[in-house]
Amino acid sequence: MPAELSPIDTAKFTAARRAVDFVQDGMKLGLGTGSTAAWMVRCLAERVREEGLRVQGVPTSTRTAELARDLGIPVVTLDEAKWLDLTIDGADEFDADFNLIKGGGAALLQEKIVATASDRMIVIADAAKEVAQLGAFPLPVEVIPFGWQSTKLLIEETLVGMDVLDRQVTLRMSGDAPLLTDERNYILDLHLKRIGEPRQLAMTLNQIAGVVENGLFIDICDMVVVGHGDGRVTVRDLQAGLAEDGRVNLDDARNIFADLGE
């Protein structure tokens, strides 16, 4: 563990630490995937260890499942849990209406299934993830490998009629081979630069044969917790229309890693 966290890691930890405050004893939780979500899992494990907090976690990827188990968080499947009280996850972008782009970590399918099977979803992010309009981050679309090039062509043709600034579509690679998701599917990244009508685009993409799911999360997120590099944190509740500012003790981050022997 470095002596000082970078500003971006500080922001991620700050958001994660504040979001975990919303977890209550006995909850069934969706555990997100990505670098910010990894901070959340560590912060949750600290509460489990120090407070005896009883929770069940439903991970959104094999990576998150391994981390949660290693840190002592009880893990169950979504089928075992059936329904969740809360999901906490990161985002690649979010706008003022809490519409999201997710899937930079190639876990968008499980992330969306888990989030929509929850009473509430909290997104944790650093301030750079907030945008006036979605689309600067490439939009991931998960497709089945069979006929993926035909699916790609259909997506490109569909984008001609959409309110987007660019229409480049690329296959996400892992070295020399296509990246495989946990469900053994491919990811097509849509480099759109600007998405004028995210709701329309999300619905249209999912009607294309071969598309499994897209990374636009519309009307799913209820709260955003934004962390800053100086330890400040802002909690925004969409339904209540409120924003609350606070601060997180940054020594807690070092304590988490010290306790884990890292």
Partnered with residue 174 across adjacent β-strands are 177
Tokens 């002592």 correspond to what residue? 72
Q: Which CATH class is domain 7-129+219-259?
A: alpha beta
| The predicted structure's pLDDT at residue 19 | 98
Q: What pLDDT is recorded for position 131?
A: 98
Q: Return the CA Rg of the chain.
A: 18
> Which CATH superfamily is 139-214 part of?
ACT domain (3.30.70.260)
- Backbone φ, ψ for residue 154 (5° rounding): -65, -40
pLDDT of residue 151: 98
pLDDT tens, per residue, the chain with 262 residues: 345 789 999 999 999 999 999 999 999 999 999 999 999 999 999 999 999 999 999 999 999 999 999 999 999 999 999 999 999 999 999 999 999 999 999 999 999 999 999 999 999 999 999 999 999 999 999 999 999 999 999 999 999 999 999 999 999 999 999 999 999 999 999 999 999 999 999 999 999 999 999 999 999 999 999 999 999 999 999 887 788 889 988 876 766 655 544 4
DSSP 225-254: EEE-TTSEEEEEETTTTEEEEEE--THHHH
Q: Phi then psi for 43, rounded to 5 degrees?
A: -65, -40
Residue 249 has a pLDDT of: 83
| Whole-angstrom distance, CA of residue 252 vs CA of residue 12 | 13
> pTM for the full model?
0.94
Q: Give yes or no on whether 7-129+219-259 and 139-214 have one common fold.
A: no
Contact 148/171 with Cβ under 8 angstroms?
A: yes
Buried b (16+ CB within 10 A) or exposed e, 30-44: bbbbbebbbbbbbbb
Q: Delimit the domains of the chain by residue range.
A: 7-129+219-259, 139-214
- Per DSSP, the residues of 124-157 read EEEGGGB-SSS-SS-EEEEE-STTHHHHHHHHHH
Does the annotation count 111 as an active-site position?
yes
- For residue 240, how many other CB atoms are within 10 A of its CB? 10
Token pair listed for 52: 């005896």
Catalytic residue among 46, 93, 111, 213: 111
- The CB density around residue 162, as the number of other CB atoms within 10 Å, is 17
